Amino acid sequence: MSQNNLDEKDFLLLKILKENSKLSTKEISKKLLMPLTTIHNRIKKLERINAIKNYTVNLNDKTLGTLSAFILVTVDYNLLKLRNTTQHELVKTIKANDLVEQTAMVTGSHDIIIKVRVKNIQELDNFVTTYLRNLHGIQKTQTMVILNEV
């Protein structure tokens, strides 16, 4: 057993849902050889304890004619302190932008990772140079265009 009383079957269920969250409980029940009601109850438990935060889709840039990129951000903590704000508030501001798909606060040589989806390279340039670099608390950025998602 691990945290929140999750067992091996819960982790198998999560693995199946990560691969395809659109599967019906009946289909999952067949894959895991577990009763339908058990699958339903386990999913509800995983949602209730916030192990499953939401259900989402994986978009295809090629089909949509879009471009995705990861942007590594280094935070200027002194400026945040002077402005009486926090890294959490900065991330919330970034996340509110419609082009931003994901944000994460991380350890290492950078402080924040952002995933954006844009129409073209000009929109990416505008997001980074006009929007992101002008937010108070951003020290520097490094942008990596996603060539292919496997």
Predicted TM-score (pTM) of the model is 0.83
Two structure tokens written together for 43: 């999913």
> Among residues 74, 56, 32, 75, which one has the least CA distance to residue 117?
56
Q: What is the pLDDT of residue 146?
A: 97
Neighbours of 44 (CB within 10 A): 11
Q: State the pLDDT at residue 1.
A: 38
**pLDDT tens sequence across 99-148:** 999 999 999 999 999 999 999 999 999 999 999 999 999 999 999 999 99
As a residue count, the chain comes to: 150
Q: What is the pLDDT of residue 149?
A: 86
What is the domain partition of the chain in residue ranges?
A: 3-48, 61-145
What average pLDDT does the chain have?
Answer: 94
Q: What percent of the chain has pLDDT over 90?
A: 92
Local confidence band at 3 (pLDDT 50, 70, 90 cut-offs) = low
CA-wise closest residue to 76 among 139, 118, 12: 139
Q: What is the pLDDT of residues 68-92, one digit of tens each?
A: 999 999 999 999 999 999 999 999 9
Looking at residue 51, the DSSP 8-state letter turns out to be: S
CATH level 3 topology of 3-48: Arc Repressor Mutant, subunit A (1.10.10)
Please name the fold of domain 61-145. Answer: Alpha-Beta Plaits (3.30.70)
Establish whether domains 3-48 and 61-145 are of one fold. Answer: no
Written as one letter, the residue type at 10 is D
